[in-house]
Structure 1
Amino acid sequence: MYFGTPVVMISTQNEDGSPNLAPMSSVWWVGQSCMLGLDETSKTTQNLVRTKECVINLVPSSLVDAVDRLALVTGTLNVPQHKLRKGYRCEPDKFGAAGLTVISSDEVEPPRVAECPIQLEASIDRIHPFGEADSGLLAFDARVVRAHVQEELLVPDRRNHVDADKWDPLIMKFCEYYGRGENLQPSSLARGWGMPQRLSLLP
């Protein structure tokens, strides 16, 4: 049932104050809030439960390489068995692994991703179990407390609106990367999760 949602990178703060960064694509917005769906064993989940803060960095299609470099890594020191079987490894320095730049936030402790043209600082209001009793999934109700949008994405005479023609989000459909209306490149996540490979991208 993974028909396609935008890709975001969630930055959170680890126990030692260092940043964690994780790509995810189970996200949707209503008003000033968004819902995040996450594996309960992930480092991002652990940090959100503990700190109740994050930055939701919206990813343009041009950053597909950076996202794919993080696809099969986790900040969890003891990688869960279900992730080991898919080829995940521990990587404490997610920003470095992705080749991305840390910049400070205004309202929350976790940093923003400089290369993402839209960054949403958020506070977690509620945490819900999601799916069946043993799904291992949690849903986070995140309220946006500060939005940062690059100037060139805004409608000139409507400063509170993003120009939809200028914003090209990275979309994940069935673990494959899409942008500009086309399949962009092979996906490490699709390979790790055993998804069928796109025929157009096979050698």
Structure 2
Amino acid sequence: MYPRDRTRILEVGQARTHGLGADVYLMRQFARRPGAAVHQGHAHLGPRRVGQYRSQCADVVARVPYIHGSHPNAGTVPRPWKARRAYYGNTVVLLSTLNPDGTTNIAPMSSTWALGHTIVLGMGVGSRTATNLRERGEAVLNLPGVELWKQVERLGDTTGNTRGQVQHGHGSVPCADKFAAVGLDRQPSQTVSCDRVAQCRLQIEVRVVGAAPDADGHFLIAQTHVQMVHADPAIVVPGTSHVDPRLWKPLIYNFRHYHTLGSQVGESAITETPSA
């Protein structure tokens, strides 16, 4: 189990624009970058008028080459295809929620996305996780690295409910202590009652601000608000509140296969931690 000083609390704050309007700030960020796509002479301008930079954008698009991959069918035109489900893969999360008896349930999931300080979660309506979120309204998103994929997979065979059920296309068995069952350690949280997973190098404590079934009634969609973020200092850019993407390799659930990220191929012009 990690000692308490192993994790660092990251500040949750708004992106800094140094007092400039967003347009001006972003234009100057572009202008500072070598080979910036936006013309250097526009860096001094104020907020753009409609169509002001259209010619530059069109020129950039025209110069982007079509890249052929190594797959034998790379470059072919996509055709209509009847997929069994629309899920397309995402980062794996071990979600901690609070059981009625005060213990912590953990469940693997990957249907999450973030917008600002809001994180949206999706899970089956009949799961113990969904019930806990509706009734107690708090959770921790524990983001595992690649080394935990076997524990993640084993958790998928368990349920926090008292009776077995069919989930993820197969059966699951009741499990009162999932931490012990798969060899994970508990770590107390600071703003919520459910425990964190000590082996996860990123942990996000949240509270539910809204939850409702999806249009078909099969899934619960919960909106949560971030309360606190914890990170292993080893993956944080020194002297900042930014995770170093070169050091953090999240576990990715890609069409029911476990993957992680490869080497960097580029970076956004608005990154606050440029490589060069």
Structure 1 length-normalised TM: 0.83
Structure 2 length-normalised TM: 0.62
SS at match of 1:127: strand
Output the amino acid matched with 2:141.
I
Give the number of equivalent residue pairs.
178
* Pair member with larger Rg: 2
The RMSD of aligned alpha carbons is 1.7
Q: Is the 8 A contact 1:2 1:173 kept in 2?
A: no
Output the amino acid matched with 1:165.
R
1:110 is the counterpart of 2:194: yes
Q: Residue deviations 1:52-98, cap 9 Å, x none?
A: 00111011111111101101111111233x43971211111111112
Q: Is the 8 A contact 1:77 1:90 kept in 2?
A: yes
Q: Residue deviations 1:143-164, cap 9 Å, x none?
A: 110110110111113x211111
Structure 2 unaligned regions, length at least 5: 1-85, 263-276
> 4+ residue stretches of structure 1 with deviation over 6 A?
none
Q: Is the 8 A contact 1:79 1:89 kept in 2?
A: yes
Counterpart-to-counterpart distance in 2, 1:60 and 1:35 = 21
Structure 1 unaligned regions, length at least 5: 182-203
Structure 2 equivalent of residue 16 of structure 1 = 101
Q: Select 1:94's aligned residue among 166, 178, 182.
A: 178
Q: Select 2:220's aligned residue among 129, 138, 147.
A: 138
Output the amino acid matched with 1:164.
P
Q: Residue deviations 1:87-130, cap 9 Å, x none?
A: 21111111111210001000000010000001101000011222
Q: Is the 8 A contact 1:43 1:76 kept in 2?
A: yes
Counterpart-to-counterpart distance in 1, 2:222 and 2:127 = 13
Between the aligned residues of both structures, percent identity stands at 36
Say which structure is richer in strand.
Answer: 1
